[in-house]
Amino acid sequence: MSLKIKVPEVGESITEVTISQWLKADGELVEMDEVICEMESDKATFELTAEASGKLKIHAQEGETLEIGALVCEIDESAAGSSGQEDTASEAKTEATEAKTEAPSETSKDTEGAIIEMKVPTVGESITEVTIASWLKGTGDHVEMDEVIAEIESDKATFELTAETSGELEVIAEEGETLEIGALLCKITVGEGAPVTTNEQKKEAASPNPMPATATDGTTNYATGHASPAAAKILAEKGISADQVKGTGVNGRVTKEDAQKAKVPAAKPAPKPAAKSSPAPEKSSGVEGREQTRKKMTPLRKTISKRLVQVKNETAMLTTFNEVNMKPIMDLRKKYKDSFKQKYEVNLGFMSFFTKAVCLALQEFPAVNAQIDGEEMVYNDFCDISIAVSAPKGLVVPVIRNAEQMSFDTIEKTIVSLATKARDNKLSIDEMTGGTFTITNGGIFGSMLSTPIINAPQSAILGMHNIVERPMAVNGEVKILPIMYVALSYDHRIIDGRESVGFLVRVKELLEDPSRLLLGI
């Protein structure tokens, strides 16, 4: 029986993917859930695993772009466990390896000195240009085939550029330069004995690692000692080669976690200077003490700028404010935080209270949880709460799915998990897609009051701020209380003043009397 494996759905806005590389060869036996290839979209890299054990038959070659649902490969389940077929596949693989290694010396002489031009590859259907983020190798450096030599950025993600052959590198495009797809990046002068690698030869290659390390179970194959793209990037930054790291992934594959745990060698060689330019921002000349520094915007920052301006121009955005007495919540946290952490192994923070309060208020004011789609208004009977997190490469907004069904400890654990992934740049596309309402906390940076911008296509966003002790009039007496100002920015096209003000007042009531959150009243 032959099982067909197709391109899975990897994100709401992703319609096609590119086969980055095969970790298994055609005709090779694979195990269920074993990683067999890597696929790239215009936003991230994904791993494709075998859905059954058997003999692999590849239909899509490396570098080929496929639509979602297209056939990638087949697995002949009847071949699983068949020693005869396994021996045949092994013999075929050995013969293919021998055929490649027994190339006559004349071929090496013919390819020696040849110049290979490397151009900007196609990285996504909607991406027309990229920016050279950094060169990991400079002009005159010797590079190995498949070695990462540069990083390029688009307005959606960062990609790695690998050498197409071994030889001496000549950098053409400078760091910070923006190029169109197909533009010349660099040249590689093929070294002695290094074959010129065509796309067809790359597709036939069974493994980029000529001498793989031994897997944890004592066996070796393509994945053994091979670093994933994310792991390779981390190892390159640390100056560690993949064969110096013991892989804990499938068949000894080096994962990102392995790379993060890898220790930097004691004597790390000094990096060679870049060939053409320095990544440091340029300083303009002028009067001493009045210098200006110019730094080019990254593609990601350009996209953020366009989206924020688009929201301001296309929505009727207003902001309403209120204040919350945080003393009841602070007293509750102080009383139960130790017991809460001991039982659930997570801290009891403010975000779980705000998330629960927002979910209850959204159910009472459904317009705040809705969005406009063309000439229709879409109302959601679920609460997918987006939490704004400041990540190294910019602001990201991971989503807590069905937050209205979660308990306090589940919300806290989910927030910690998403925030950790965001700071480690490990969030998946699915974890950042969707959301019906957003919460942002500028108070952790000391903000007293702000007007947050709506996270389109949502219709509202709640802004939290710092907690400051202020004199307040309570039953005719002046008391010093911990007060937080809260702001609700909303799209007036779908949310009227009654809903916006009523929603924020309801959130205030729930926070100032936390027992209401437990009773749902």
Active-site positions? 492, 496
pLDDT at 272: 47
Match 């009523």 to its residue by tokens: 502
Domain 105-208+216-261: top CATH class: mainly beta
Superfamily holding 301-519: Chloramphenicol acetyltransferase-like domain (3.30.559.10)
Q: What is the CA radius of gyration of the chain?
A: 28
Confidence (pTM) = 0.51
Which residue spans of the chain are classified as CATH 2.40.50.100? 2-101, 105-208+216-261
Q: What is the CATH number of domain 2-101?
A: 2.40.50.100
- According to DSSP, the residues that pair with 309 across neighbouring strands are none
pLDDT at 466: 94
- Dihedral sign computed on CA atoms, order 360, 361, 362, 363: positive
Vertex 28, ends 23 and 33: CA angle to 5°?
60
Match 């979910």 to its residue by tokens: 359
Identify whether the C-beta of residue 173 lies closer than 8 Å to the C-beta of residue 186.
yes
Which is nearest to 501 in space by CA: 372, 318, 313?
318
Which is nearest to 484 in space by CA: 334, 356, 350?
350
Q: What count of other Cβ atoms lies within 10 Å of the Cβ of residue 289?
A: 5
Which residue spans of the chain are classified as CATH 3.30.559.10? 301-519
pLDDT at 111: 58
- Give how far Cα 26 sits from Cα of 29, 72, 421, 483, Å: 9, 12, 35, 65
CA atoms within 13 A on the CB side of 514: 15
Burial (CB count <10 Å: 0-12, 13-18, 19+), residue 397: buried
Series of mean pLDDT values for 10-residue runs along the chain (521 residues): 83 76 88 85 75 89 86 84 48 46 43 80 72 86 87 72 88 85 88 51 43 45 61 73 72 72 59 45 65 76 78 89 95 92 92 94 95 91 92 82 93 92 80 90 90 91 95 93 96 93 96 86 75
